[in-house]
């Protein structure tokens, strides 16, 4: 019987990946509960389970006394000597139990608790596995698309995850059976198990793609200092290298643009601006407004980081971007409120643009 029990434990560890030691502790706790209910005892239950030796013993421990005041924890010398001839007053006696003596209710209790322990172990294991993938890119298969709510159910390696409408790239059409890449924003513990929060719009998705694609980023030669993104439209990324012999922008672009082209293709044509980071905010802001040229950057006084940027007249619309996108992304990337003005000071018939402010990323 014991051999079958320990073989079953070993099988659970192999098939479900739940450690034998964890199962043993939960089963011991379950047996203690069963004995307490079946025999009306307190915390004087001893359970020994040793998979290495095959030992499996359950006993109620009672103190041998002359006169019993609490039958749940005490036993008379006469009763004790019927179990163990050498029993003496003042010592403890282990009263061994047989599993079959627990009764139907006790057995059901133990079975229920063990089943709960198995579910808990599986949830903990799944949480640990998903937590290790937090802030990483994972591959997922589209299981279901809800045309009304717009949510998409994805199948991950273990379990499912919901991709909300606001975490999907605008204009992107996902189809059932399609394999896509998503960014794991966080993993939370819930009563129903771990909940994985995923995104296709998070700037971290692009950041991790470059970390996987560019060896110089992976080995630390090139560092991604900041990133801002409007998913499906444009991303700006600031990179830096302490090594003067390494061009951080060139490393990310790759020979003939091969590295960045692969990421752009993965993101369905999303434009990516890679700029050189500088500790000098004037230099950084000038580079960040790419592809527009900059004549002058003036840092403005005050607690809020703000600046006034002057650009050639023919570069004004390029600096601001379509619907202000270039200015917005630059503001997020640099952390500065940006007021863009033409060199001549003349805006034509268009109203003066409101300064772009950095916004919190997802």
Is 110 contained in some domain? yes
Mean pLDDT of 119-137: 79
Number of C-beta neighbours around residue 79 at 10 A? 16
List the CATH number of the domain containing 68: 3.30.1480.10
d(CA 271, CA 234): 5
Number of domains composing the chain: 4
Note whether 180 and 251 are same-domain residues.
Answer: no
* Residue 58 within any structural domain of the chain: yes
Strand partners, 137: 183
pLDDT of res. 145: 93
The answer on 11 and 114 residing in a single domain is yes
Residue 132 lies in a domain: no
- Stretch 193-204: mean pLDDT: 88
Average pLDDT over residues 337-357: 73
% the chain with pLDDT above 90: 55
Look up the pTM and report it.
0.66
SS3 229: strand
Structural domain contains residue 283? no
CATH at 309 = 3.30.300.20
> Do 251 and 314 have their domain in common?
no
Domain contains 353: yes
Higher pLDDT, 158 or 219: 219
Same domain, 116 and 167: no
Q: Are residues 328 and 305 in the same domain?
A: yes
Is 130 within a domain? no
For the ranges 50-54, 77-81, 196-200, the lowest mean pLDDT is seen at 50-54
Q: How confident is the model at residue 109 (pLDDT cuts 50, 70, 90)?
A: low
Kindly state the average pLDDT of the residues 143-163.
88
**CATH code for position 191:** 2.40.50.140
Mean local confidence (pLDDT), 70-85: 91
- Residue 98: pLDDT over 50: yes
Residues 249, 299: one domain? no
Residues 152 and 188 in one domain: yes
**pLDDT for position 202:** 95
* Residue 129, domain member (yes or no): no
Q: What is the pLDDT of residue 179?
A: 92
Residue ranges of the alpha helices (H) in 86-145? 103-131
- Tokens 């200015």 belong to 327
Lowest pLDDT segment from 39-43, 161-165, 178-182, 209-213: 39-43
Domain range enclosing 246: 202-277
- The mean of the pLDDT values for the chain is 86
Residues 115 and 177 in one domain: no
Residue pLDDT, tens place only, 273-308: 999 999 999 999 999 999 999 999 999 998 899 999
The Cα–Cα gap between 2 and 49 comes to 10
Residue 282 inside a domain? The answer is: no
């Amino acid at each position: 019987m014991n051999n079958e029990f320990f073989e079953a434990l070993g099988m659970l560890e192999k098939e479900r990946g739940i450690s034998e030691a964890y199962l043993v502790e939960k089963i011991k706790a379950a047996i203690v509960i069963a004995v307490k209910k079946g025999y009306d005892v307190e915390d004087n239950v001893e359970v020994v389970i040793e998979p290495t030796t095959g030992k499996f013993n359950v006993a109620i421990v009672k103190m041998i006394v002359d006169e019993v005041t609490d039958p749940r924890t005490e036993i008379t010398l006469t009763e004790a000597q019927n179990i163990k001839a050498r029993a003496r007053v003042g010592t403890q006696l282990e009263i061994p139990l047989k599993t079959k003596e627990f009764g139907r209710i006790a057995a059901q209790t133990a079975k229920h608790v063990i089943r709960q322990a198995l579910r808990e172990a599986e949830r903990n294991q799944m949480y640990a596995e998903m937590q290790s993938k937090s802030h990483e890119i994972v591959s997922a298969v589209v299981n279901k698309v809800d045309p009304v709510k717009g949510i998409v159910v994805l199948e991950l390696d273990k379990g499912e995850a919901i991709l909300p409408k606001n975490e999907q790239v605008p204009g992107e059409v996902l189809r059932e059976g399609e394999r896509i890449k998503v960014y794991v924003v966080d993993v939370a513990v819930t009563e129903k198990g771990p909940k994985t929060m995923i995104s296709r719009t998070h700037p971290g998705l692009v950041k991790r793609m470059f970390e996987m694609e560019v060896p110089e980023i992976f080995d630390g030669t090139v560092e991604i200092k900041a990133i801002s993104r409007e998913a499906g439209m444009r991303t700006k990324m600031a990179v830096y290298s302490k090594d003067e012999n390494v061009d951080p922008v060139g490393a990310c672009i790759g020979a003939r643009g091969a590295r960045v082209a692969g990421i752009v293709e993965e993101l369905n044509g999303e434009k990516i601006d890679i700029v050189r980071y500088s500790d000098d905010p004037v230099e950084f802001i000038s580079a960040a407004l790419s592809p527009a040229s900059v004549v002058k950057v003036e840092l403005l006084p005050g607690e809020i980081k703000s600046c006034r940027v002057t650009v050639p007249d023919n570069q004004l619309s390029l600096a601001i971007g379509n619907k202000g996108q270039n200015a917005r992304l630059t503001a997020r990337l640099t952390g500065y409120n940006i007021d863009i003005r033409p060199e001549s000071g003349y805006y034509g018939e268009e109203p003066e643009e409101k300064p772009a402010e950095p916004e919190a990323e997802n």
